[in-house]
A and B are shown apart, each in its own frame.
Chain A
Amino acid sequence: MNVLSKSFYQYRRISKILKLFLIIAGPGIIVMVADNDAGGITTYAATGAKYGYDLIWFLLLLGPIAYFIQEMTVRLGAVTKRGHAEAIFDAFGRFWGWFSFFDLGLTNQLTLITEFIGMTAALSIFHFPPVLTVVIVIILMGLMVLQGKYWTWEKLAIFFCLINLIYIPAAFMVHPSVTEILKSGFIPHFPTGNPGDLFFFLMANVGTTIAPWMVFFQQSSVVDKGMKEKDIPWGQFDTIVGAFFTVVVAIFCVILTATVLRGVDIESAAQAAQMLMGIDKYVGVFLAIGLFDAGFLGAICISLATSWAIGEVFGWAHSLNYKVREAPWFYAYYFLSLVIAGIVVLWPGAPLVLITLFVQVIATTLLPAALVFLILLLNNKELMGEYKNNTWQNVVNISIVIALIILSTGYALSALFPNIFK
């Protein structure tokens, strides 16, 4: 009887914690899973095909890196009740405010175009014409926000995050060697070959881990959700869960292409899906669905990040809890950014390759600023009070920020000048 009552008590306790987590969970999981966007999936697919399982251990390191950066946005948003764009204007003045604002707008719009490229390429495998894909995406994304509740939008976004886990069954379907994965994937080592190529792939994987929009998105999302200081531990746990999922998805994507496409030079995830269709139809279909979902998740977060930033800076109503008539400018920009991205992708002869190349470079001009501002704001006692960074957090976070700036700058330079590190 005693055992039974203890078990029942434990069950009630765990179910209560789980229910509370499901209420609080959202921004961390969404931003982390959306980090595996169309560009990210292409990077992982190419990494697996090029180096097999050899770089899985490196992907494991990226989870904590993403967590430590994004965790700061949870504290900053919950304490200041301000998005990152507004926080920069307020703390650093108009020069840095306008710089971050315009750079974010440009970077996000270009990244949004690359998400649309990924989505149209993914659905073209199922013979969907690009125009139909663009229309479906805009309608779906419109329906997600127009219902006027942040909570509903968040749970719908989490549903799309779950679809991102499709790479797990896909990887199992190609029967990878578990022994080989454990032997070559989880023991840190650098594979042989051209050091320049290896450096490029390492930088590309780091480059996809933290993007400027993630910092802006999660902070605004925390504010829109109405999280308070007491919710910070839950927000941190939400971010840990998200970081775990983003690494799991990345690893299974690498396992998938490492098992069946080893030695193939992959230029896009859509190309990998096409190739997989020839090997195993269902695996190819899974990869294509995953690619579409990755682009979709990226697109919903990026377009919202910009809309929130515009609302914050101009003082316009900017919440998913408002109806269209209450926040017309917020929704107007949201749709405008989607329509612009759709038109560019459908435009005959649009310089899509050039856009894909320059998006990383332009993002690199914003990333150091966003990260440095994050560290400075988190060290401001007046602003953060007891939630400011402690010494240990500063050592970890500043080291990560310096490493991220060096590696993402290296990646941007090698994108501009392909032979620079060879």
Chain B
Amino acid sequence: MNDSNDSFNKPNSFLESIHEINEKYKTPRIHMTRMVRISLVALRVYLLVMLLILAYKFATLVIH
């Protein structure tokens, strides 16, 4: 079972929670080996290509 965190059950504000999360996970904890770096770069390229394809499809749908 997960431990509950009461302070999070009644968040002061949504933006504060976002800020806390951004601070908490500012630095990746995984050791950046060569394999990890290559995988993350490949993922970024893949996502960029998929995004461009989606944008193209939306654009052509709107034009037609």
Contacts and interface: CB of A to CB of B under 8 A. Distances in A.
Interface of A: 89-94, 96-97, 99, 150, 223-224, 226, 311, 313-319, 321-322, 326-329, 361, 364-365, 368-369, 372, 375-377, 379-380, 382-383, 405, 409, 412-413, 416-417
Contact of B30 (A315, A316, A321, A376): A376
Contacts of B42: 372
| Closest CB pairs A-B (n = 6) | A317-B4, A93-B28, A315-B8, A91-B30, A89-B25, A94-B25
Contacts of B57: 416-417
A78 B16 CA distance: 31
22 contacts: A91-B29, A91-B30, A93-B26, A93-B28, A94-B21, A94-B22, A94-B25, A224-B1, A316-B4, A316-B8, A317-B5, A317-B9, A319-B2, A326-B9, A327-B9, A361-B54, A364-B50, A368-B43, A369-B43, A380-B30, A380-B31, A416-B53
B63 interface: no
A319 B1 contact: yes
Given A361-B54, A369-B43, A413-B53, A226 B1 contact: yes
Interface residues of B, number: 31
A94 B47 contact: no
B35 interface: yes
A382 B53 contact: no
Contacts of A89: 21, 24-25
Contact of A92 (B40, B50, B53): B40
Contacts of A375: 39
Contacts of A313: 21
Nearest to B27: A93
B9 A94 contact: no
A90 B29 contact: yes
A193 B22 CA distance: 53
Nearest to A92: B28
B50 A376 contact: no
Contact of B25 (A93, A318, A364, A416): A93
A322 B46 contact: no
A364 B46 CA distance: 10
Contacts of B27: 93
Contacts of A405: 46
A329 B9 contact: yes
Given A99-B47, A376-B36, A377-B30, 4 more contacts: A96-B28, A226-B1, A316-B9, A405-B46
A383 B30 CA distance: 9
B28 A315 contact: no
Contacts of B29: 90-91
A324 to B, nearest CB: 12
Contacts of B4: 316-317, 319, 322, 326-327
Contacts of B36: 376
Contacts of A93: 25-28
A365 B40 CA distance: 14
B30 A94 contact: no
A368 to B, nearest CB: 6
B25 A316 contact: no
Contacts of B2: 223-224, 311, 317-319
